[in-house]
């Protein structure tokens, strides 16, 4: 018998000597020898088999000075995996839709839609993306601090108080207010640098931007400033992913008119861009000089219409290991509210993932987990940090029985054999979009890149 709890690696703040002697005292009570010194000084011997995840009976030599080296997956049995080859594949597939001269911007806002902005940016740039776009100044600064040198566009006008960061980190803002443009130009001039910007044009979404028929007026207002440099002009579509095309076409027409007016007034619009993921695949006419690839960079179809058009691979999968199992007698309930009642002959398994990890509570009793290539029904309310699923233990026909054990790996999102659970299905069930679900899974779980 091993008195140390499996996986136990000591308490923070407990002196190593003290702890070891307490452990040795317990061993002596059971007539065992004191723990041997670690074979490799400072090494850990894990309390589970790394391949199967099964707990293994073992002595636990450890070095109290290296407790922080215990890998994240040995600290917590729920995690997200990001397949960077899928990111590269999605960039390459999207490139096939573009003219050779058309630039591709990887939209990595919101920590790359929950996939990790630094890693995704590196993968996307390595696979043929030309530029990066984010939503906020801190997001852009994070990429610069990670050593990325590609042009970074902020897709909205940041607060004027952030201008020194734009100049200091070489981050390009979106602008639509003359006052901001002038403040930005003057700050750049003081430091003897240029102030490049992209002008946002409101063609109908009514979120940000200069109205399409006021663009020339805006340029006349700011063009006196010598440091300001119009590097690009863009718009954003409200309905590129909708089945109907009329509203989209009206926006595209307004944008084309605005660009023509800019040129007619003698201004160079620079890089003209408008297409998000849906528009990239559905509307080649609006690619112009650059496209902005967001949701499909991560392998999601923006709408059903693109399914037959492009081969995309989801990069994100969500994993957990079983932390507890039990047979629940017929008619006993499971989880808050006891809404699920056991039909008998079921093993209820617990995994340490809940709505605080992005597994939305609205999916309770309405999603499947995958174990050994087979589907199992999530049952009972999803809790903040844990949830349960049901394994039917009856054997019938030739079906092999699965008898899950603590430590077995469960797939929450992803595919295994022919079984697949997707973020698309979750979004559909929740009346949401994939963006929101993917970002949710970034909340607390460790991300592993494969
Ligand atoms: C988020 C965003 C994108 C990317 O959109 P997807 O639909 O995810 O491809 C492109 N442009 C702007 C302005 C955005 O805000």
Per-residue pLDDT tens listing for the chain (450 residues): 334 344 434 434 434 344 444 445 444 555 555 544 443 333 343 445 555 555 555 556 778 888 888 899 999 999 999 999 999 999 999 999 999 999 999 999 999 999 999 999 999 999 999 999 999 999 999 999 999 999 999 999 999 999 999 999 999 999 999 999 999 999 999 999 999 999 999 999 999 999 999 999 999 999 999 999 999 999 999 999 999 999 999 999 999 999 999 999 999 999 999 999 999 999 999 999 999 999 999 999 999 999 999 999 999 999 999 999 999 999 999 999 999 999 999 999 999 999 999 999 999 999 999 999 999 999 999 999 999 999 998 877 777 778 999 999 999 999 999 999 999 999 999 999 999 999 999 999 999 999
Residue 400's pLDDT is what? 76
CA 397 to the chain's CA centroid: 41
Question: What is the per-residue pLDDT for 57?
Answer: 53
* Residue closest to 385 by CA, chosen among 348, 350, 357: 357
CA of 356 to the centre of ligand 1 (A): 26
Q: Which residue has the tokens 């601090």?
A: 145
- Tell me which residue has its CA closest to atom 10 in ligand 1: 276
Per-residue 3-state assignment (H helix, E strand, C coil) for 68-94: HHCCHHHHCCEEEEECHHHHHHHHHHH
pTM: predicted TM-score of the whole model, two decimal places:
0.86
188-236 pLDDT, tens digit each: 999 999 999 999 999 999 999 999 999 999 999 999 999 999 999 999 9
Residue 311 is encoded by which pair of tokens?
């081969």
pLDDT at 34: 54
Q: Is 109 a catalytic residue?
A: yes
Instruction: Respond yes or no: is residue 336 known to be catalytic.
Output: yes
For 344-400, write each residue's pLDDT tens digit: 999 999 999 999 999 999 999 999 999 999 999 999 999 999 999 999 988 777 777
> CA 248 to CA 42: how far, in whole Å?
62
Which residues are within 8 A (CB) of 207 and not within 5 positions of it... i.e. 6 or more apart?
236
- Which atom number of ligand 1 is nearest to the Cα of residue 296? 9
Angle between helix 117-126 and helix 84-95 axes, rounded to 10 deg: 40
Quick check: helix, strand or coil at residue 433? coil
- Sign of the dihedral through C-alpha 308, 309, 311, 315: negative
Ligand 1 closest atom vs CA 236: 13
**Looking at residue 401, what is its pLDDT?**
79
Contact between 382 and 31 under an 8 Å Cβ cutoff? The reply is no
Return the pLDDT at 13.
40
d(Cα 282, Cα 288) in Å, to the nearest integer?
Answer: 14
Measured distance CA(288)–CA(281) in Å, rounded? 13
Q: By C-alpha distance, which of 71, 101, 79 is closest to 9?
A: 71
Strand ranges for 135-176 from DSSP E: 152-154, 174-175
Q: Which residues line ligand 1 (CB under 6 A)?
A: 107, 109, 155, 236, 276-278, 292-295, 302
- Ligand 1, residue 293: give the atom nearest the CA: 9
| 93 exposure class (CB count in 10 Å sphere: 0-12, 13-18, 19+) | middle
Q: Residue 184's closest CA among 162, 163, 206?
A: 163
């Amino acid at each position: 018998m091993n008195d140390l709890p499996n996986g136990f690696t000591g308490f923070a703040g407990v002196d190593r000597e003290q702890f070891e002697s307490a452990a040795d005292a317990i061993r002596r009570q059971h007539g065992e020898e004191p723990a041997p010194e670690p074979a490799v000084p400072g090494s850990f011997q894990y309390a589970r088999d790394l391949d199967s995840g099964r707990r293994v009976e073992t002595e636990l030599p450890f070095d109290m000075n290296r407790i922080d080296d215990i890998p994240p997956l040995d600290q917590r049995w729920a995690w997200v995996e990001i397949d960077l080859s899928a990111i590269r594949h999605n960039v390459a597939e999207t490139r096939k839709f573009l003219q050779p001269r058309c630039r591709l911007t990887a939209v990595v806002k919101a920590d790359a839609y929950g996939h990790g902005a630094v890693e995704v940016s590196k993968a996307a740039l390595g696979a043929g993306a030309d530029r990066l776009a984010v939503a906020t100044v801190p997001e852009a600064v994070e990429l610069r601090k990670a050593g990325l040198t590609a042009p970074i566009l902020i897709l909205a006008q940041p607060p004027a108080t952030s201008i020194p960061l734009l100049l200091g980190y070489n981050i390009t803002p979106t602008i639509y207010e003359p006052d901001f443009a002038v403040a930005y130009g003057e700050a750049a001039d003081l430091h003897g640098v240029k102030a490049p910007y992209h002008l946002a044009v409101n063609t109908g979404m009514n979120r940000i931007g200069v109205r399409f028929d006021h663009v020339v007026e805006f340029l006349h207002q700011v063009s006196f400033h010598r440091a300001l440099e119009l590097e690009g002009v863009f718009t954003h579509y409200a309905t590129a992913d909708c089945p109907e095309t009329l509203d989209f076409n009206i926006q595209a027409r307004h944008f084309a008119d605005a660009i023509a007016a800019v040129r007619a007034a003698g201004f160079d619009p620079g890089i003209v861009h408008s297409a998000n993921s849906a528009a990239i695949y559905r509307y080649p006419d609006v690619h112009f000089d650059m496209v902005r690839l967001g949701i499909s960079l991560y392998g999601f179809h923006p709408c059903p219409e693109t399914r037959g058009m492009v081969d995309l691979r989801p990069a994100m999968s969500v994993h957990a290991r079983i932390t507890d199992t039990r047979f629940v007698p017929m008619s006993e309930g499971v989880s808050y509210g006891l809404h699920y009642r056991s039909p008998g002959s079921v093993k209820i398994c617990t995994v340490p993932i809940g709505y605080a990890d992005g597994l939305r509570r609205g999916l309770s009793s309405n999603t499947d987990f995958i174990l050994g290539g087979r589907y199992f029904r999530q049952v009972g309310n999803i809790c903040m940090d844990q949830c349960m699923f049901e394994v039917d233990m009856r054997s019938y026909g030739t079906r092999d029985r699965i008898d899950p054990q603590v430590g077995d790996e469960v797939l929450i999102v992803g595919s295994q054999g022919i079984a697949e659970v997707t973020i698309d299905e979750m979004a559909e069930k929740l009346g949401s979009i994939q963006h929101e679900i993917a970002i949710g899974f970034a909340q607390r779980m460790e991300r592993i890149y494969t």
